[in-house]
Structure 1
Amino acid sequence: MRFCPQCGVQTVPQARFCTECGAALSDAKKAAGKKDGKTATRTPAPPVVQQSLFAGLVVLSAYLAVGVGLWVFVLRSQPFPVVAVAEGPASSGGSQALPQDHPPISIPDDVKQRIVTLVDEANAKP
């Protein structure tokens, strides 16, 4: 007859675990050592797990370094666009950026009337 060293319940001779408490059942030598109340020490993780954890951290660090490098050297090195502010009266139609042979640009009368209507409505309801 075998008994669980953890809870004392009678177990099946071929069982590897106790059906009552789930404790691992081992041969008589190991069971006798557990009767003293000492718990088994946990064995360290196999080196394969530690190596794969280290490799994962190296890959993560490499991605982080590449991302920071791109941000610093590519995105931050580009100058911000300079917006020119006209100090005098507004230019008519932005003709300075058009080619010389471009026909003049004019706003249709119905669009001008709609703009005037929207301005009047906005001024009426501030």
Structure 2
Amino acid sequence: MESRHLSVVIRRDWREVAAFAGSDEHLPEWAAGLAAGELRREGDELVATSPMGEVRMRFAAANDLGVLDHDVTLPDGQVVHNPLRVLAHPLGAEVVFTLRHLPGVTADAFEADAQAVAADLERLRALLEQ
């Protein structure tokens, strides 16, 4: 299984970036591929209307390490683990998303997913560097 690490450097303190990126309130502002529509909390899950249909997300417990890993349950019931980290960087923060090439996903679909994640990360950078 191929993994691809997509990252962006943001000129803000890594703790501020992690707090913003991990916030229910701000997720729809930057993660269009995941939470472009309505977002609501049901217990410890976030439920979002996404381009794929309704998805459920469960994030790692709040922490001081910049770990924003999350499991996404797709409309067909498949659960995808998404590693997402905010790291200290000499210029502020580096946000790293690990995209996995899942079985059954075509090379073209994997590339499209990578482009969507890169666009989301760029949107996050633009919001935080205003």
Compare the two structures and name the one with the higher strand fraction.
2
Structure scoring higher RCO (CA < 8 A, sep ≥ 6) equals: 2
TM > 0.5 fold call: no
Compare the two structures and name the one with the higher helix fraction.
1
